[in-house]
Amino acid sequence: MSTLKVIDEDYSSWKCSACGKALTPTPIELEYLESKFTVELPACPECGLVLIPEDLALGKMAEVESLLEDK
């Protein structure tokens, strides 16, 4: 699958607390129960730590998780 933006908000003002570097939009592979989705998320260019905004985690990601889970 191609890499696509899932968040519109600008997170460039966020810094990685461990490395002090500004987070940059980075292609990230999300994997859950054997399904993979490549999406663009803010990540630290130094250590790779990814920020997953709360509304994404509780919104679309939660919905996708429940679709992938078994009955």
Q: How far is the CB of 65 from another protein (least distance, A)?
A: 10
Q: Count of residues for the chain?
A: 71
The binding site for another protein (CB under 8 A) comprises 1-2, 4-6, 32-35, 37-39, 60-61, 63-64, 67-71
Sequence letter at residue 67: L
CB 22 within 8 A of CB 14: yes
Query: Three-state SS for 64?
Result: helix
Q: How far is the CB of 48 from another protein (least distance, A)?
A: 20
Judged by beta carbon, residue 49 or residue 56, the one nearer another protein is 56
